[in-house]
């Protein structure tokens, strides 16, 4: 069975969706860069080991990432799962775990990398928005895409309404990406384009990602 550590910074709703999915993955630890992350208590209640590396206690990004790497390596996971982990990782850290770090980002990448994705989507006037699960590379928010889901942007949306609609699909696609990972079905084509082996469109992806949920 493959193993993961989950990195969070806050409430951990994506982490919870992953834990609830009953995946065949050994979850070795949940690590936060913030001692006040509410997701930590939720992980503890489920019997998962938690650790905190408070980024504010380190003199530099490199020093924080070095400590984080030691913590991660002490449990030797196969993959690192960023679930609302709000720190940009250094190139050195990313290079240490090539194609072994996954992230969820609240936009349809490559559109709206970085912060405040829902605000930018509303300001730009796109009519479709969504979320992306991808591998992390040194090019921020540009690594190989595993799965995406789209939602409509509706006329009276504000940031909170749009964020909520996107979060619903985040909770579907992250467990699905990790299910494929657990099953060893994620493969790479030329240019690191991800292909899911034996993809069954209706059972693997389902209506949510194929049809706009307008109703």
Contacting positions for ligand GAR (CB under 6 A): 8, 10-14, 83-84, 104-106, 167, 170
What angle in degrees, to the nearest 10, is found between the helix axes of 159-182 and 117-124? 120
Active site residue 142: no
Q: Which of 156, 45, 146, 49 is nearest to 105 (CA)?
A: 146
Q: Which residues, in sequence order, are bridge partners of residue 3?
A: 26
DSSP-derived 3-state class of residue 168:
helix
CB 55 within 8 A of CB 87: yes
Q: How far apart are CA 68 and CA 66, in angstroms?
A: 5
DSSP conformational letter for 192? G
Q: Which of 20, 84, 36, 91 is nearest to 61 (CA)?
A: 91
Which CB sits closer to ligand GAR, 43 or 181?
43
Active site residues: 105
């Amino acid at each position: 069975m493959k193993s993961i550590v989950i990195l969070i910074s806050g409430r951990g709703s994506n982490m919870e969706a992953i834990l609830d999915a009953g995946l065949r993955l050994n979850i070795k630890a949940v690590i936060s860069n913030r001692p006040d992350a509410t997701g930590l208590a939720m992980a503890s209640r489920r019997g998962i080991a938690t650790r905190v590396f408070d980024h504010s206690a380190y003199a530099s990004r490199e020093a924080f990432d070095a400590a984080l790497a030691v913590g991660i390596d002490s449990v030797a996971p196969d993959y690192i799962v960023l679930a609302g982990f709000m720190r940009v990782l250094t190139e050195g850290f990313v290079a240490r775990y090539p194609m072994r770090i996954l992230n969820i980002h609240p936009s349809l990448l490559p559109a709206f990398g970085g912060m405040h994705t829902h605000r930018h989507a509303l300001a730009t006037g796109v009519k479709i928005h969504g979320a992306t699960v991808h591998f992390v590379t040194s090019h921020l928010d540009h690594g190989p895409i595993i799965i995406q889901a789209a939602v409509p942007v509706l006329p009276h949306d504000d940031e909170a309404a749009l964020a909520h609609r996107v979060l619903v699909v985040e909770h579907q696609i992250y467990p699905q990406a990790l299910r494929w990972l657990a099953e060893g079905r994620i493969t790479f084509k030329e240019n690191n384009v991800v292909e899911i082996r034996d993809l069954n469109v209706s059972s693997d992806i389902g209506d949510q990602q194929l049809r706009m949920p307008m109703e």
